Amino acid sequence: MALYITFLFIVSSLVLFYFFVLNQKPKGKLPPGPPKLPIIGNIPQVAGKLPHHVLRDLARKYGPVMHLQLGHLSTIVVSSPRLAEHVLKTNDLAVSNRPYSLVGDVVLYGGSDVVFGNYGDYWRQMKKIMTTEALSAKKVREFSGIRDHEINNMIEFIRSTLGKPFHLREGVMQRNNNIICKALFGDHSKQQDLLIEIVEELVVLASGFQLADFFPKLKFLTAISGMKSKLTKVHNELDNIFDELFRERKIKRQTNGATEDDLLDVLFNIKERGGLQFPIEDNNIKAIFVNMFIGGTDTSVVTIEWTMTQMMRFPEVMKKAQAEVRRVFKGKQTITEKDLEQLVYLRCVVKEALRLYAPIPILLPRESREKFQIDGYDIPVGTRVLVNAYACSTDPEYWDDADSFKPERFEKSAVDFMGRNYEYLPFGTGRRICPGITFGLNVAEIIIAKLIYHFDWELPNGLSPKDIDLSENFGVVADKKVPLEIIPTRYYPMS
């Protein structure tokens, strides 16, 4: 009996807590949205489905700005280029925070990184360092030796397995990870493999669609789900690896002096040079490194896989892109950024693949730090703001035959990657725009160019192009559910 009374007491306390503390309705006129269930709100309408698809479908019914209640998260979803511009340009500052995230808190040193960190002077300083010093076009050029080495090894490997199926994602992922790791801290294969393993685990945990993510105020859910202890374990493992790398590097710098061979040196130099408004410590560098791992590993690989998939689906596109690459690269041993600039058609193909299959189809969530208005609706402080870039890049008002793959649409178009066209935002826009555009695109374009320059490709088991499975997965990035396997049939240039 005593147990029963205690149970009733706990349940009724939780219900009262929910109604009086957690369930306070925001004031003002919110945008329309689908009907909401008590407590869980709209979770059933989105859970377990591909969010960018389901949100695009809902927007077609409820309008380009919708309000959803995802557990505790009062969320607006923006799904048209006109309103994306209104939010991400006109009100960029008002929505430049990130929502609280347990991953940021536990793994990224209390959100002292660029991805999860809130907008403010410290964040601005760190983003500037990332954009202008670590990932600048000049720095990206300086890493061309690393890229060439890794990609040429991959080409040699594929050449040695001519006629056998090549698992594109695995083959490319390993090379891309090597490129990122070497750019960050040189050649340290032992730590590198371990780091990649841990970051992969983190990417799954960070997907943001776990039950506890929808109820951040119910702290016990993160404990019950084991989320906090998993993240703490990941954090400790990462921290130990970085400590070891940093210790070795400090000893090396004492003996050999400061160099600028990799990004660890670049950031140590900035730290030692001083003069910053917020002096940086080792933990700040670690946080930025984790960002570059997460930001740089899967995204380029997903871009490569979808672009190759589309070229396998449309042989005439492959033929045209291949003819261009073979004309431009003819006789060249190394390929420079200048050569890439001449691959005008290939860039259209990559653009079109990113239009339909961007690795981050819903831009990373933002949170309003000031109230603002959109189309006559009131958006209070603390609202989660999602921009469905996929809905914008397939909006029939802006794109003819929007769901079809047609690279030629970019041949006469000035739309680029820089976030100036709100109907096309594969790298986001505004204060939160991706700082790795040049790095990511360079890797993706050189790998694709070399794959189609050196090899002719076929589908395995007599599969026809129209049978290629186009299903998507959704995690932090939207990748291809069934990995692409293709057979290299002929090496070019033939000797």
Residues found near ligand HEM in the complex (CB under 6 A): 114-115, 127, 135, 291-292, 295-296, 299-300, 303, 358-360, 363-364, 426-429, 432-436, 439-441, 444
Task: Give the nearer residue to ligand HEM in terms of CB position, either 31 or 296.
Answer: 296
Task: Give the nearer residue to ligand HEM in terms of CB position, either 436 or 488.
Answer: 436
Cα separation of 332 and 339, whole Å? 10
Cα separation of 433 and 322, whole Å? 31
Task: Give the nearer residue to ligand HEM in terms of CB position, either 182 or 432.
Answer: 432
* Distance from the Cα of residue 458 to its chain's centroid: 29
Closest listed residue to residue 329, CA positions, set 449, 182, 164: 449
CB of 221 vs ligand HEM, minimal distance in Å: 26
164, 259 Cβ separation under 8 angstroms: no
* Distance from the Cα of residue 478 to its chain's centroid: 9
- Residues belonging to the chain: 495
Angstrom CA distances, 444 to 233, 250, 350, 437, stand at 32, 33, 9, 10
Counts for the chain of helices (H) and strands (E), in that order: 21, 9
Task: Give the nearer residue to ligand HEM in terms of CB position, either 128 or 327.
Answer: 128
CB of 347 vs ligand HEM, minimal distance in Å: 13
CB of 10 vs ligand HEM, minimal distance in Å: 40
Paired residues of 379 in beta bridges? 372
- Is residue 378 helix, strand or coil? strand
350, 416 Cβ separation under 8 angstroms: no
CB of 337 vs ligand HEM, minimal distance in Å: 15
- Helix, strand, coil share (%) of the chain residues, nearest 5: 55, 10, 35
CB of 63 vs ligand HEM, minimal distance in Å: 22
Task: Give the nearer residue to ligand HEM in terms of CB position, either 231 or 477.
Answer: 477
Which residues lie below 8 Å from residue 461, measured CB to CB, with a gap of 6+?
A: none
Does the annotation flag 434 for ligand binding? yes
CB of 331 vs ligand HEM, minimal distance in Å: 29
Task: Give the nearer residue to ligand HEM in terms of CB position, either 325 or 389.
Answer: 389
- DSSP class of residue 14 equals H
Cα separation of 22 and 19, whole Å? 6
Task: Give the nearer residue to ligand HEM in terms of CB position, either 16 or 418.
Answer: 418
Known binding residues are 434
Known binding residues for heme are 434
